[in-house]
Structure 1
Amino acid sequence: MQLDLNLLAALDALLEEGSVTGAAARLHVTAPAMSRSLGRIRRTTGDQILVRTGRTMTPTPYALAVREQVHQLLHQVQGVLAPSRELDLATLERTFTLRWHDSLVTLSGPALLSAVRGQAPGVRLRFVAESSVDTPELRRGEVDLEANANRPGAPDIRAESVGETRLAVVVRQGHPLTRVGTVTAKRYAAAEHVTVSRRGNLGNALDDALARLGLTRRVVATVPTEAAALEFVRDSDLLVCVPEVTTRSAVADLGLVVLPLPLDLPSAPIYLSWHQRYESDPAHAWLRGLARTALTTYGTPP
């Protein structure tokens, strides 16, 4: 039986997207063309692959069983067929999209851009904001590198830890907590708080830690970025907890005061993540190396 490798790409897209429309968009073909490919896959495998459940499509047990194998096979085929050539940074023309936590953009972004421009002046970096919901851009290839505290769970996403940071309390100069000596958990909880959440959550792990001590705090506002939270703190008696790496610029540029967090919480990791399709891409590997250096040097406290 003669096999069409295009069906392998179609099957991978169908299993990743879970719909004919999504798979068609991913491979830049029409929905009817993808529907015909699904029909051919069904005839070839003798399995329905995707079945309709209400308004959505559900993969069959066979589809779930072969999903990772199909993805690996396609990746291997692409690696075999991809042209092998030496990377020439002086002539490289490429735009990389990076979705990093805003504090990491502030602290490590300038160093990364400087290193990139020094080696490959034709390369552009496109930093985009984190979304308020989990999005599949990394898997779609629309984002090249992510950097944040989340370790991806998908098997096709590569991730490595490039550092860690602890939380610290930031207040304005003259804040009541700066005049009490030791900041206890009870004093910390009694203050009014602003939190940072791109999803708009008013609570987080700090509330869980306080609850274990029989304490609660009053959160009066939540904002999407640490930069915004620091502005709220700057002219009020609010306080905010942010990673220690963020406090460097807060103290220097805004004249704020950093206090230790009186709670026993583990350090937050910093992960650099990318899709496995870029694992052997020379240009992407080069950028990963520079990003790793920038994040390790500027994104992690000494």
Structure 2
Amino acid sequence: MQQLPSGAASATPLPDMNLLPALDALLRAGSVAGAAAELNVSPSAMSRTLGRLRRVVGDPLLVPSGRGLALTPRAREMRPLVREALAGALAALRPPRDVDLASLHREFRIRTNDGIAMSLGAPLLALAAREAPGVRLRLLPEGEEDPADLRTHVDLDVGELPDPLPHDVRSSALYARRMVAVARAGTDLAREPLTPERFAALPHLTVTRRGRAHSVVDERLAALGLRRDVLATAPTYGAACFFALRTDALALIPFEVAAEATRVMPLVALEIPLDLPLVASGQAWHLRLDTDPAHRWLRGALERVAGAAGAAGAAGAAGAAPAVTGDVARTAG
């Protein structure tokens, strides 16, 4: 006998659930031989199973009638209930089916920074509108991130992921971001090529939620015997772009964010003349959602839009159009 889980409404022992398929076969076939053939067991084994079922149910179920057997009233009453119970058990134990995106109605809570929201948010919304119009996205701002939030109220973390992640959190890479500098269009600041010396001499705007002005940029400049002046730090990439519109300073932001910002703002993007490491971005989710078909679709959708953004960034690194207002430009370093 099996026991109900702790905290269940009743402490009544459960019967052997392996008897359920045999009971279903007996009630449908109305004979021991027919049920035995269906389940590919011997008639004697099925007869013993019928004896066990009679003891569990407290009813003979099948009784002699002429040359065959007949169902008791209790057995006839049980037949649809057993059929439904078996179907429910089989459905619960099957692997998840592919989701019907056209009829999917689901809300996903995604935590990310404003840069990824700016660069991937609109393409993800457009993709969802085409493939899963019933999906709603709730983008949550970054703060003092705790991966444990994925266990409760966050469906997906997107951005720079902590290392290591908790044992019950899964992750996948999205793309590697490269940084560029944006400046106000129409000024000498935006027209002239950046050399390491000129790059260091210009005032800088950097993005950090913790107000730290020092980064790998300073380390690369120090290796060349140069120092820069960080005019201000901004909490978001959007704020840094607005700062650049009102100052003669360079705002250092990811290429994908610059592509969006220069599309709608009078800014020009310039290549940074330093060998800077790429910034890896990924997505993380709790194990409870790992096999969920709808969540798998969401992760795949993000991989697709991130792949397109990463390809655009790689194309920009290989060479792009001359620097003009509204375009991401690459100037010689």
Give yes or no for TM over 0.5. yes
Q: 1:5: how far off?
A: 6.4
Q: 1:140: how far off?
A: 2.3
> Of the candidates 267, 280, 285, which is equivalent to residue 274 of structure 1?
285
Q: 1:228: how far off?
A: 0.9
What's the % identity of the aligned pairs?
Answer: 36
Name the residue aligned to 1:215: 226
Note if 1:111 corresponds to 2:155: no
Distance 1:175 1:120, change over 3 A: same
Distance 1:103 1:275, change over 3 A: same
> Of the candidates 281, 291, 295, which is equivalent to residue 306 of structure 2?
295
Work out whether residues 145 and 272 of structure 1, in 8 Å CA contact, stay in contact via their aligned partners in 2.
Answer: yes
Name the residue aligned to 2:178: 166
Q: 1:237: how far off?
A: 0.4
> Of the candidates 216, 233, 247, which is equivalent to residue 205 of structure 1?
216
> Of the candidates 189, 198, 201, which is equivalent to residue 200 of structure 2?
189
SS in 1 for 2:256: helix
Q: Deviations over 1:229-288 (max 9, x none)?
A: 011101210111111111112222112122111111122222122222211111111111
Q: 1:226: how far off?
A: 0.8
* Partner Cα distance (2:186, 2:117) in 1: 30
Name the residue aligned to 1:77: none
Name the residue aligned to 1:256: 267
The one-letter code of the counterpart of 2:261 is: A
Distance 1:196 1:6, change over 3 A: farther
* Partner Cα distance (2:198, 2:236) in 1: 25
Work out whether residues 189 and 248 of structure 2, in 8 Å CA contact, stay in contact via their aligned partners in 1.
Answer: no
Name the residue aligned to 2:68: none
Note if 1:238 corresponds to 2:234: no
* Partner Cα distance (1:5, 1:188) in 2: 66
The one-letter code of the counterpart of 1:259 is: L
Q: Deviations over 1:13-69 (max 9, x none)?
A: xxxxxxxxxxxxxxxxxxxxxxxxxxxxxxxxxxxxxxxxxxxxxxxxxxxxxxxxx
Gaps of 5+ in 2: 8-90, 316-333
Name the residue aligned to 2:74: none
Work out whether residues 108 and 299 of structure 1, in 8 Å CA contact, stay in contact via their aligned partners in 2.
Answer: no
Name the residue aligned to 2:330: none
Q: 1:113: how far off?
A: 1.7
Work out whether residues 130 and 198 of structure 1, in 8 Å CA contact, stay in contact via their aligned partners in 2.
Answer: no
Please tell me whether Structure 1 or Structure 2 has the larger radius of gyration of its CA atoms.
2
Stretches (4+) displaced over 4 A: 2-7, 80-85
Distance 1:139 1:177, change over 3 A: same
The one-letter code of the counterpart of 1:110 is: A
* Partner Cα distance (2:259, 2:228) in 1: 26
Q: 1:152: how far off?
A: 4.2
Q: 1:173: how far off?
A: 2.1
Q: 1:299: how far off?
A: 4.9
Where relative contact order (Cα < 8 A, 6+ residues apart) is larger, the structure is 1
> Of the candidates 133, 151, 170, which is equivalent to residue 140 of structure 1?
151
* Partner Cα distance (1:82, 1:187) in 2: 65
Work out whether residues 165 and 244 of structure 1, in 8 Å CA contact, stay in contact via their aligned partners in 2.
Answer: yes
SS in 1 for 2:273: coil
* Partner Cα distance (2:95, 2:6) in 1: 22
Q: 1:97: how far off?
A: 0.4
| Aligned alpha-carbon RMSD (Å) | 2.6
The one-letter code of the counterpart of 1:252 is: R
Q: TM-score normalized by structure 2?
A: 0.61
Note if 1:102 corresponds to 2:114: yes
* Partner Cα distance (2:176, 2:157) in 1: 15
SS in 1 for 2:299: helix
SS in 1 for 2:102: coil
Distance 1:205 1:5, change over 3 A: farther
SS in 2 for 1:245: helix
* Partner Cα distance (2:201, 2:4) in 1: 67
* Partner Cα distance (1:6, 1:119) in 2: 42
Gaps of 5+ in 1: 8-79
* Partner Cα distance (1:245, 1:199) in 2: 22
Q: 1:4: how far off?
A: 8.9
Work out whether residues 96 and 291 of structure 2, in 8 Å CA contact, stay in contact via their aligned partners in 1.
Answer: no
